[in-house]
Amino acid sequence: MSSTSGTPRGPIDSSRVPRYAGPATFARLPRLDEVGTADVAVVGVPFDSGVSYRPGARFGGNAIREASRLLRPYNPAQDASPFALAQVADGGDIAVNPFNINEAVETIEAAADDLLGTGARLMTLGGDHTIALPLLRSVAKKHGPVALLHFDAHLDTWDTYFGAEYTHGTPFRRAVEEGILDTEALSHVGTRGPLYGKQDLTDDEKMGFGIVTSADVYRRGADEVADQLRQRIGDRPLYISIDIDCLDPAHAPGTGTPEAGGMTSRELLEILRGLASCNLVSADVVEVAPAYDHAEITSVAASHTAYELTTIMSRQIAAARTAGA
Ligand SMILES: N=C(N)NCCCC(=O)O
Ligand SMILES: [Zn+2]
Ligand SMILES: [Zn+2]
């Protein structure tokens, strides 16, 4: 059955089947092959060959799925039941070559093309931040250059590492060079930590990015930051890329390049809720490296982050359907 028409199939009922039983899918949702097509496809990309420090984000997607067993069907913060409003399904993993970054980038783009071609929006679970480039390429083929909200401790607009163009520190410079971002609406949020030089900031600004540092979030508060971001984005098609290291290492220790002084998970979730009216076409949550995690702190934060993003998309899909009906 194609579930984009008819009643969406929701998560396994945790009052009947204990939530710790059985194989993990995101939020205990059905697999994509069980429902045919989905409005939102949650997909893993187990790839971390683009990292500059600690490896391990290839295991991030499955760690987020495991942690997401505790998510419940109603989201009070957005007053919505995301899995009833739209068909959300777990599309499994995009299997990519760990020994050839260029090939991996091509494979991710092709797989994203296929999924977006079915009409689904993507909620991608990384993987390291390299994967944002092929995902953005694919989204831009469908929507044209997109607005980007990039939550991260890092700029990720550096040029190359050891001569490599495709790494987790360089996806957004490549994306600007390729013309797949709307340079009127680019923001980093949560930025902090030492840089290679002041030029990093000058280059970044020239590419069109605005910066909301983690200290700005602390000083101005989540609501004001969300208002400012919303104004900049307007009704443009929006892609949100969330590097879990935007959070303080206290809130997300399980990541590859941790930086002190980050946002709290409460701040991140609140900013996202403040963006609920934006036209979110796809999103990713990347850089969860479970080997450095403790008590699933990081993967729980990442699962709630993906839940808020999924809720935003589901609400918009339902609203568009009502408007079109
Ligand atoms: N995208 C992430 N997580 N990190 C980028 C850090 C690049 C560097 O080592 O300078
Ligand atoms: Zn980062
Ligand atoms: Zn990053």
Residue 107 and residue 81 in contact, taking contact as beta carbons nearer than 8 Å: no
Name the H helices within the chain. Answer: 32-35, 60-67, 82-85, 101-117, 132-143, 171-177, 199-206, 214-220, 222-233, 265-273, 297-324
**pLDDT given at position 325:** 76
Among 4-13, 53-62, 223-232, 254-263, the range scoring the smallest mean pLDDT is: 4-13
What the block records as the tokens of 140 is 């831009």
Sheet containing 279-286, strands listed edge to edge, beginning at the edge strand earlier in sequence: 88-93, 40-45, 121-126, 279-286, 237-243, 146-151, 181-191, 209-213
Where is 238: in which H helix or E strand? strand 237-243
Q: Is any atom of ligand 1 closer than 6 Å to the C-beta of 62? A: no
Q: Is the ipTM of this complex over 0.85?
A: yes
**pLDDT given at position 117:** 98
Residue 39: strand, helix, or coil: coil
Q: What is the 8-class DSSP label of residue 12?
A: -
Q: Is any atom of ligand 1 closer than 6 Å to the C-beta of 60? A: no
Q: 243 labelled as ligand-binding? A: yes
pTM of the predicted protein model: 0.98
Ligand at minimal distance from the CA of 54 is: 1
- pLDDT interval class at 1 (50, 70, 90): very low
Residues 192-209 pLDDT 10s: 999 999 999 999 999 999
Where is 279: in which H helix or E strand? strand 279-286
Q: 93 labelled as ligand-binding? A: no
Helix axes 265-273, 222-233, angle to 10 degrees: 40
Q: Is any atom of ligand 1 closer than 6 Å to the C-beta of 270? A: no
Q: What does each C-alpha distance from 291 to 46, 148, 242 come to in angstroms? A: 14, 29, 19
Give the rounded percent of residues in the chain with a pLDDT score beyond 70.
Answer: 98
Is the pLDDT at 223 greater than 80? The verdict is: yes
User: What single-letter amino acid sits at 56?
Assistant: G
Which amino acid residue places its CA nearest to atom 6 of ligand 1?
169
User: 286 C-alpha to center of ligand 3: Å?
Assistant: 8
**pLDDT given at position 11:** 98
**pLDDT given at position 115:** 98
Ligand at minimal distance from the CA of 242 is: 3
The predicted model gives 153-175 an average pLDDT of 98
**Residue 122 Cα to chain centre, angstroms:** 9
Residue 246 and residue 153 in contact, taking contact as beta carbons nearer than 8 Å: yes
Residues 265-306 pLDDT 10s: 999 999 999 999 999 999 999 999 999 999 999 999 999 999
Is the pLDDT at 3 greater than 80? The verdict is: no
**pLDDT given at position 4:** 53
User: Nearest 5°: phi and psi at 301?
Assistant: -60, -45
Q: 227 labelled as ligand-binding? A: no
In order of start, what are the domains of the chain with their CATH numbers?
A: 26-324 (3.40.800.10)
Is the pLDDT at 314 greater than 70? The verdict is: yes
Mean pLDDT of the chain: 97
The predicted model gives 142-149 an average pLDDT of 98
Is the pLDDT at 234 greater than 50? The verdict is: yes
Q: Is any atom of ligand 1 closer than 6 Å to the C-beta of 257? A: yes
